[in-house]
Each structure stands twice: as C-alpha cells, then as structure tokens.
C-alpha cells in the first residue's frame, strides 16, 4: 500500500475518533447536570424578562428535557444528541430567546473565522520566513537577539499578552478603540459585499490579531523555524548547493524554507486546537464580536444551548481543519509523498 | 562538520547555564512570594476589609500594592494567588504528565493492535481544542470546582502532549541498536524498559512535567477569565477575572492590573527557561552518550 | 601566457586549519605543495583523518567555518594564474566554482535536493553562469543529459524516484556541466557496493578521456587508486609523505606507510598473511614531535623522534618524506 494512502486512512480514523470522543465526552457531561438545574434554567429564562410565548416556552422545555436526559429512553437520547451535535441544533438560546442558538452563533462565527484565518496565516508565514532569514546570515547578532525575545514571548498565552497590549495601547497610548465593534448583519450576496465585510473584519480584528500574531510569529513559529533552519543548513544537500555556488537567496528559499515547510505544516495542524482556544479568550478581552465574547455571555447566564453549539462547532471545525492540513496540504507540499515510487 | 558541532555543544551548555540560572532565580522569587502568603493577616481574604481602590502606600506592608475594588490588599491577594496558581499547575503536572508518561511508554514500546489503539487515542486529544471542552466541564461541574478538582479536570486534556512526546522518544530509542542487541541477548521486556529505555525518557519526562505546569496555569487562567474557575479562592486567573469585571484597566488601577499580569509572565518565562535549559542539556548527551 | 605543459593548478605551502577555539586548532593540512597537470587522473590516498578531504576543500576554496586556510592555490585561468585563496568567496562563486573547478562530494547519493526536480538542479547552475533563462537552460540540460547516457525524462523526476546509481551519475553529470578543467571527487566510491563502484569509476574515466580534464580522486581505497589513477599522492597527518606514478608506487613503495598501505591490498596468487599497521593516527591537536609517523614506523630511528624529514625528490617524478631516503 502506498505510504500516502496509509497516512490518509490514519488521518481519517483520527478525525472520526476525535469527533466520536469529543461527542461522547460532552454527552456524558451533559448527563452529569442534575435535573434541578434544568428547572433553574427555565426559571432563568423567564426571569430574563423576555416576552414569553407559551408555545416557545414549552418547546424550549421539551428541548432542554431532551438535552439533559429527562425524557426518552437512553438510546433515544443518545441518537437525539448525536443529531443535535452534528447539526448544531441545540434549541433556542437563552440570551435572545426564542431565537435558535444556532442562528446567534452563526452571526458571530464569521468574525472568529476571519480573525483566525488572517492571524494564523500571517503569523505562520511571518514566523517561518523570519526564522529562515535571520538564522542564515553572516551576522549572528540579530538572530540571537530575536531568539532571546522569542524565548520570552513563546510561553506567554495570547490573552495575557493582550492584557498588556490593551493597557499600553488603550490606556497609555490610545490607538485602538475598545468599544465593542458594531455588528452589521453579515449578508454576503456578492463579491463586493464580501470585500467590504472582509475589510471591516480586518479593521476591527487588528487589535486581537496583533496580539496573536506577535506571540505566534515571534514566539512559536520563529523558534521552531530557527531550529529547523539551522539543522537544515547542516544537511548534505545544502552543503552541496553551497559548493555549487548557489546563492544565499536561493538557498534560503528553495532549499531551507522549502524543507522546513513540511514539518511546520504538521506543527500547524497540531497547534490548531491551542490557537483556537487562545483566540477565544483574546476575543473576549478585546470585546471582539466573535465566538469568544458570545461564549462569555453564554457562560454568565448558563446558556447551554449556545455553549453546546459553540462546543460542537469548535470541535468539528478544528478537527476538519486539522485533517485538511494534515492530509491534503501535506500531500501537495511534499514531493516525496506525492510522487512516491 | 564534526568540529563545528563540538563548538556548538560547548557554547550551548554555557548558555543553558545562564538561562537555567535566570529561570531558577525567577522561580525562587515566585516561591518566596508565595511563602509569604502564609504570613498574611486573616482579614485580607474578606471583601471590603480595606478601603477600596487605593493606590500603593508605603505606610504598611498590606498596602504596598494598593487595594482592589473589592476592598482587598493587592499584595496579599497576589501572594495568595501565586501560591494557588502554582499548586494547580503542580498538581495537574503530577497527574497529567505521569499518565502521559505511562500511555506514551506503552504506545511506544508495544506492538500490534494495542499500539494502534493507543495512538488513535492520543492523537484526538491533541487535535481537540482543549478550552471549549474544559469550559463545558467547568460549566457542568461548577459546584465541585476546588483547588483539588481543577487539576483533575485539567489532567483530562493535559496527558495528551506528554504521551505523544514520550511515545516518539520511546520509539526512537527502541529502534536503536543497543536495545535490539539487548533483546537478542535474552533480557526481558520490562528489564529493557527500565534499564535501557527509561534513562532517555526521564529527561524528556522532566521537560514534559514543567511544560505541563505552564500549560495548566495558562488553562486555569483562561477558565478563570471566563469566570469558570474557583472564584472563592485567589488565583492569578481569578484576579484577572475581577480586574476585567470591574473594568480596572480603563479606570487606571494599574497597581491592581500589573502585578498579576507581570507575575503570570514571570511564571511562564521562568519555568520555560528552566525547561529548555534542562532539555538541551540532556539532549546532546543523549545523542552522544549511551 | 599559459602553455599546454604548464600546470593547471599550483598549490604552494598550503595550510588548512579547523579553529575550534582560540587555543584549540586542528592542522588538518600542514604545509602541502602540489601541482596538477592537464589531462591526468591523480589519486590522493591515506587513512581517515590524514587531511585529504580537507586538502581538496582548500584547493577548491570551500572554506566553511571553522575551516581556515593559508598559502597560495594558483589556478590557471585563460592567460594567467589566480590565487584562489586570495579572492573573495563571491568571486569564487561567480567565476571559479563549477566553471573552472568542480566538486563531487562524499555521499553523492544523498546530495540532491529532495524537493527539487533533477532538471532544476541542472538549470539552476546553467542559468546562473550562462545568464540565460530557465527554459533555455532546461533545453540545454535535455541535450546534455543525453550525452551522459541518461534518459531525458530523468529531468522531470525527483531524487527519491531514482535509484542510487542514477543519482550518482547525475551528480557526476552536474559536475561536468560547464566543462571545468579540474574535478575533485571526494570518496566517490565509499559506502557503495562493488558493482556500482565499477560503473561509477568507468563513467568517470570515460568522461575524463572525452573531455581531457584533470580528475583528482580522493579515497582511502587503494584498490580504486590501482584501478584508475595515473599518479598518486599519499598523505599522513596533514603532510604529503610520498608522491609517485601509480604503477611505480605499487611496485616498489618507498615510505614505510605506503608500504603498509600497498601490502594491505590482496592480489591474485598472493597467499602471504596480511599484516595490519599497529597504532592509531596521531592526534592533530597535539601532534608528536619529529616525523609524524614515527610512533608506528617499524624502521623508526632516534633522528625520527627529533626531526621532521623534508619531502625530497628521490628521482624524477618521485617524492618521499623519510630519512631512509634523504641521505641519498
């Protein structure tokens, strides 16, 4: 069997098991919630002063009972939960009763996706390129300096760094505005609107993105890229290139950068979970209108439908992205796998 | 090229020593701060026992860092918080990294179905975004959150990276010649494990242990910021929760905001410096020695 | 004006040192002077650590830190001699490397970039030196690869798709691309089975005959020297200890070390037991005084412990560094 096919099967299995495990863990957790809590939740909804349509209320009650295992046989409950998990249908939200939780979450989702894609891609590219360029040059001082800075940045989570950033840039030197961003409904009906929306997202995302990019690029990716570059420089084929008189620029791009891309893609796929988690907290701290802020509100009032929707969305999203990077992009990028003998 | 490598290892060990020293100094400072919490006056735990929002005053030790909007002295709160955060990190590392060690060893040394099963168990836990899962855990188990249960909950996710790490080291060691020779000479499986494989793994285990401490404190802080940690106790994370809750950043209460942030940074950087200096001290020896 | 009979490379008092720290340095090449003529196959022999690999690196001008070099390496280029060691590395890269001198490294099966197609390896150097576009370079490479006995579609392949033997041939083909006058081959046959060895050596000698260039073969394998070299230089502890035409050297080796090397080679019909040479090569950080070989030499005399014998010309074309012959 070709090695790639084996690798692909392994990745698919991992994907399926990830989803299965995560699903089951959350299922068991939900079961752990005592029934009294459900009634408390229903009271909370009533007390939130929403206009209660009796029909909606009964429907919500039904959903909550289903969710928390108070109705139906265990097997029924399991499959019902299975369906809900994969269709993100956890009933109405509490915050904005009776709008379905899914709808609310979808409103915040594009912001998070925009921030993540933007920040992660830039950080990865920037960190890698910086690591290569700085490590392969005659002057060692810049490299060592950046390395020392990177060592300090690396272990710091995004959100701690963002607290510092907020303090400096909002309080001491006001650059970023910190009022919650306006949230125009995101309806993308044409390319024009897509561009406008993207630009708006970019502008609002600049503060949280900055804290993610600085730590990610200068910390994580720089250090790993530097280590890999220095190791690659001692490889036989790089020395041979130097012997042939291949210029430093070419060596940096076609030999070293090209070579470290592959392990760095694997590293990226493994880091996606952590990046996502960090981004959630950062969003909340910057009052960025993404899933992070929504999650905070859901937690405060115990809005399980929204929290569960976000949970299943996160897990499925991250697992799929990891799979995509690990199975598809990896294949494209490594000729040893793509053109195996 | 061998000569070049010799120089590199020489300078590396010197550098490690510097980094190690720096990391150690930071950690000792933190431990000293945390030990001081045992001398804290009783009343510091109670809200509004001091006038609130006071900037630092040099008049007494209690007020050296001012007070919070809860009417508590920042200095004692922070000292207490460091203690609790360190405890949580430590306990999580104790549980999580050892579970990871066990699983990783098994996954790296066994063959066949069990090995496959273990790998397929480790990878998903690494892929899963930890925070959302921990949030649901914390939501569901809000009542039972204490300084002892938080590490257990965190360990559910914490074991995965150490397991993966240990597995890859175990794999590379198992395939080394001296182990194959040992097995040919009739030494049993467990003996090989303990006497041939373990010395290499222990170095990495230490690194994993320290990294788990860092991760756990980071995670607990994240949960706390979302209000899901132990709000009745002080941890650096819960302090940040209150800071955000009371908008202390915008109100300019820098004496309240800066200490937990700076201490968190110190914890992360200090442990990390120790972690990397230990691992790069062990590494060249592992490659060259045996 | 350079004439046919002039040496194509003259190395004078060349030193090659690995500087590990201000106190510790390894004199891998310790005052070596050699000349290379046109259209010859020269072998440099000696055991591991004698400095032969370092020597050709210095002659090539590839001074990767911590390697430093002193002395003169005069390369004949059109009408004049240029001292390779005195020009800048950029100059070497632009004008000397691959155009005038070429290098076949050790471990040649694994020196190709796994992420680049073979064709790109060729066009990389071609487009840089001939200042042509990538597609033109590719066309030239296609024709060229045919003359090397390789199929055109090899150019599209990635290194891992080819066999070890083909990769070796490609590395040789790369070295000969710009028709340099000197080619250094560093242990091309080590870690290779005898069949591939024979194929590779045949290929190398064929091409040498065709292009009439100078091939310098560095290897510890005396069998390879016997097979294809015309003249040999034997090194020990960074110095040349014997230099002679190959046939003569094998028939009647003069220096005790060379004698041991030659005796170690099994020959048809020779049933005498092989006696190895005891001892180990000297530590180049703290070399012994006097003749560097004296600790292992069966003929070592008192004078050998005190003085280093000079390299003298025993007869025309034969140099030896040993007191046994310097009396003459």
Q: What is the DSSP pairing of strand C25-36 with strand C9-19?
A: antiparallel
Q: Which residues of B touch A178 (CB under 8 A)?
A: 250
Q: Which residues of C touch A (CB under 8 A)?
A: 60, 62, 64, 92-94, 97-98, 103, 105, 107, 110-116, 124-125, 128, 157-158, 160-161, 174
Q: Write the pLDDT tens digit of every residue in B180-231.
A: 676 677 666 666 667 666 777 888 888 899 999 999 999 999 999 998 887 7
Burial of A164 (0-12, 13-18, 19+ CB in 10 A): middle
Which strands, in side-by-side order, build the sheet including C318-320?
A: C101-104, C182-186, C214-218, C41-45, C231-236, C239-245, C318-320, C312-315
**Residue A85: CB partners within 8 Å, gap ≥ 6?**
A23, A26, A27, A312
Look up residue A259 and give its two tokens. 């070579």
Q: Which residues of C touch A243 (CB under 8 A)?
A: 60, 62, 97, 103, 105
Over range C89-103, report the average pLDDT.
88
Q: Can you tell me the distance from the alpha carbon of C283 to that of B262, in angstroms, rounded to the nearest whole number?
A: 53
Q: Search chain A and give the residue with CA nearest C115.
A: A335
In a domain? residue B229: yes
Closest CB to A18: pick one of B128, B240, B249: B128
Instruction: Please report the pLDDT score of residue C4 as a whole number.
Output: 60
Q: Search chain B and give the residue with CA nearest A266.
A: B127
CA A10 to chain CA centroid, Å, is 23
Closest CA to A30 of A88, A111, A90: A90
Residues 9-68 of B with CB under 8 A from C: 10
Q: Can you tell me the distance from the alpha carbon of C122 to that of C127, in angstroms, rounded to the nearest whole number?
A: 9
In a domain? residue B6: no
Instruction: Please report the pLDDT score of residue C148 as a whole number.
Output: 81
**Interchain contact, A311 vs B131, CB within 8 Å:** no
Identify the CATH number of the domain in which residue B204 sits.
1.10.3720.10
In a domain? residue B115: yes
Sign of the Cα torsion C298, C302, C306, C312 reads negative
In a domain? residue B250: yes
**Interchain contact, A243 vs C161, CB within 8 Å:** no
Rounded to two decimals, the ipTM of the complex is: 0.87
Q: Write the pLDDT tens digit of every residue in A46-104.
A: 666 556 677 777 777 777 777 776 667 778 778 888 888 888 888 777 777 667 888 88
Q: Can you tell me the distance from the alpha carbon of C168 to that of C156, in angstroms, rounded to the nearest whole number?
A: 17
CA distances from A132 to A155, A223, A244, C109 (A): 21, 10, 21, 26
**Interchain contact, B261 vs A164, CB within 8 Å:** yes
Closest CA to A239 of C67, C200, C126: C67
CA distances from A243 to B279, C97, C177, C183 (A): 34, 8, 14, 13
Q: Write the pLDDT tens digit of every residue in B221-244.
A: 999 999 888 777 888 999 999 888
Q: Which residues of C touch A237 (CB under 8 A)?
A: 110-114
Q: Which residues of B touch A170 (CB under 8 A)?
A: 249-250
Domain that holds residue B113: 13-37+44-288
Other CB atoms within 10 A of residue C13 CB: 10
Q: Can you tell me the distance from the alpha carbon of C221 to that of C192, in angstroms, rounded to the nearest whole number?
A: 12
Closest CA to B117 of C181, A10, A115, C102: A10
DSSP 3-state assignment of B161? Answer: helix
Instruction: Please report the pLDDT score of residue C88 as a whole number.
Output: 87
Residue B12 has pLDDT above 70, yes or no: no
Which residue segments constitute the domains of chain C, with CATH numbers given?
Answer: 7-100+180-326 (3.40.50.300)
In a domain? residue B4: no
Sign of the Cα torsion A258, A262, A263, A266 reads positive
Q: How many domains does chain B have?
A: 1
CA distances from B120 to A12, A99, B30, B125 (A): 11, 39, 39, 9
In a domain? residue B1: no
Confidence class for position C285, pLDDT limits 50, 70, 90: confident
In a domain? residue B104: yes
Q: Is C18 on the interface with B (CB under 8 A)?
A: yes
């Amino acid at each position: 069997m070709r090695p790639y096919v084996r690798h692909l099967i392994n990745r698919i299995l991992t994907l399926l098991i990830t989803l299965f495990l995560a699903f089951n863990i959350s299922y068991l957790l939900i079961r752990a919630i005592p029934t009294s809590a459900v009634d408390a939740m229903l009271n909370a909804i009533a007390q939130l002063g929403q206009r209660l349509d009796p029909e909606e209320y009964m429907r919500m009650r039904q959903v909550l009972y289903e969710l928390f295992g108070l109705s139906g046989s265990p097997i029924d409950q399991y499959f019902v939960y299975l369906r809900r998990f994969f269709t993100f249908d956890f009933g109405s939200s509490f915050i904005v009763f009776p709008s379905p939780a899914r709808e609310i979450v979808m409103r915040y989702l594009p912001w998070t996706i925009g921030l993540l894609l933007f920040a992660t891609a830039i950080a990865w590219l920037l960190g890698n390129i910086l690591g290569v360029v700085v490590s392969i040059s005659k002057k060692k001082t810049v490299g060592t300096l950046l390395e020392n800075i990177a060592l300090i940045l690396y272990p710091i989570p995004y959100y701690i760094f963002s607290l510092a950033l907020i303090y400096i840039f909002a309080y001491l030197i006001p650059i970023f505005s910190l009022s919650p961003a306006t949230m125009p409904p995101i309806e993308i009906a044409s390319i024009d609107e897509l561009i406008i929306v993207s630009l708006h997202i970019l502008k609002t995302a600049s503060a949280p993105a900055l804290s993610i990019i600085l730590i990610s690029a200068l910390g994580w990716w720089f250090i790993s890229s530097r280590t890999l570059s220095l190791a690659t420089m001692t490889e036989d084929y790089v020395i041979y290139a130097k012997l042939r008189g291949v210029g430093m620029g070419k060596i940096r791009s076609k030999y070293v950068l090209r070579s470290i891309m592959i392990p760095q893609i694997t590293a990226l796929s493994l880091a996606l979970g952590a990046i996502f988690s960090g981004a959630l907290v950062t969003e909340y701290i910057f009052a960025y209108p993404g899933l992070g802020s929504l999650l905070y509100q859901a937690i405060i009032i115990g809005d399980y439908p929204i929290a569960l929707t976000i949970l299943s969305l996160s897990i499925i999203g991250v697992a799929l992205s990891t799979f995509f990077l690990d199975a598809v992009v990896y294949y494209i990028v490594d000729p040893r796998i793509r053109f195996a003998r | 090229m061998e000569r070049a490598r010799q120089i590199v290892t020489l300078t590396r060990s010197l550098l490690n020593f510097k980094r190690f020293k720096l990391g150690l100094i930071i950690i000792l400072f933190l431990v000293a701060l945390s030990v001081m919490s045992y001398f804290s006056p009783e009343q510091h735990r109670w809200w509004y026992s001091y006038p609130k929002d006071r900037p630092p005053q040099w008049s007494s030790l209690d007020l050296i860092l001012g007070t919070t909007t809860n009417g508590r002295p920042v200095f004692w709160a922070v000292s207490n918080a460091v203690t609790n955060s360190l405890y949580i990190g430590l306990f999580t590392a104790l549980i999580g990294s050892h579970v990871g060690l066990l699983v990783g060893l098994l996954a790296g040394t066994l063959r066949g179905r069990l090995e496959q099963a273990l790998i397929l168990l480790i990878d998903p836990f690494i892929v899963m975004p930890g925070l959302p899962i921990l949030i649901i855990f914390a939501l569901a188990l809000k009542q039972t959150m204490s300084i002892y249960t938080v590490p257990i909950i965190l360990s559910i996710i914490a074991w995965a990276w150490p397991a993966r790490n240990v597995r890859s080291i175990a794999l590379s060691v198992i395939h080394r010649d001296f182990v194959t020779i040992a097995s040919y000479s009739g030494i049993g499986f467990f003996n090989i494990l303990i006497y041939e494989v373990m010395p290499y793994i222990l170095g990495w285990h230490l690194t994993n242990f320290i990294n788990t401490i860092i991760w756990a404190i980071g995670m607990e802080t994240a949960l706390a910021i979302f209000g899901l940690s132990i709000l009745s106790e002080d941890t650096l994370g819960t302090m940040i929760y209150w800071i955000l809750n009371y908008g202390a950043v915008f109100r300019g209460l820098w004496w309240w905001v800066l200490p937990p942030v700076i201490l968190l940074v110190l914890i992360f950087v200090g442990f990390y410096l120790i972690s990397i200096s230990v691992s790069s001290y062990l590494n060249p020896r592992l490659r060259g020695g045996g | 004006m350079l004439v046919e009979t002039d040496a194509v490379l003259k190395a004078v008092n060349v030193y090659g040192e690995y500087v590990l720290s201000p106190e510790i340095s390894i004199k891998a090449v310790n005052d070596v002077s050699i000349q290379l003529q046109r259209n010859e196959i020269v072998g440099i022999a000696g055991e591991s650590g004698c400095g032969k690999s370092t020597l050709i690196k210095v002659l090539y001008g590839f001074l990767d830190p911590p390697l430093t070099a002193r002395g003169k390496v005069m390369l004949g280029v059109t009408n004049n001699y240029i001292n390779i060691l005195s020009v800048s590395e950029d100059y070497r890269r632009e004008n000397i490397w691959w155009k005038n001198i070429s290098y076949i490294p050790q471990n040649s099966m694994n020196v190709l970039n796994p992420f680049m197609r073979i064709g790109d390896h060729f066009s990389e150097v071609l487009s840089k030196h001939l200042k042509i576009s990538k597609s033109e370079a590719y066309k030239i490479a296609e024709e060229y690869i045919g003359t090397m006995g390789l199929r055109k579609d090899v150019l599209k392949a990635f290194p891992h798709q080819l066999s070890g033997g083909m990769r070796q041939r490609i590395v040789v083909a790369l070295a000969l691309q710009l028709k340099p006058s000197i080619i250094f081959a560093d242990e091309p046959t080590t870690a290779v089975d005898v069949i591939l060895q024979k194929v590779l050596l045949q290929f190398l000698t064929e091409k040498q005959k065709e292009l009439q260039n100078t091939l310098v073969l560095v290897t510890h394998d005396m069998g390879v020297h016997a097979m294809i070299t015309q003249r040999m230089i034997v090194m020990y502890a960074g110095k040349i200890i014997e230099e002679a035409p190959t046939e003569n050297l094998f028939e009647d080796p003069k220096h005790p070390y060379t004698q041991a090397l030659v005796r170690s080679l099994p020959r048809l019909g020779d049933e005498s037991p092989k006696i190895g040479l005891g001892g180990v090569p000297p530590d180049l950080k703290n070399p012994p005084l006097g003749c560097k070989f004296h600790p292992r030499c069966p003929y070592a005399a008192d004078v050998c412990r005190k003085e280093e014998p000079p390299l003298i010309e025993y007869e025309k074309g034969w140099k030896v560094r040993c007191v046994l012959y310097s009396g003459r």
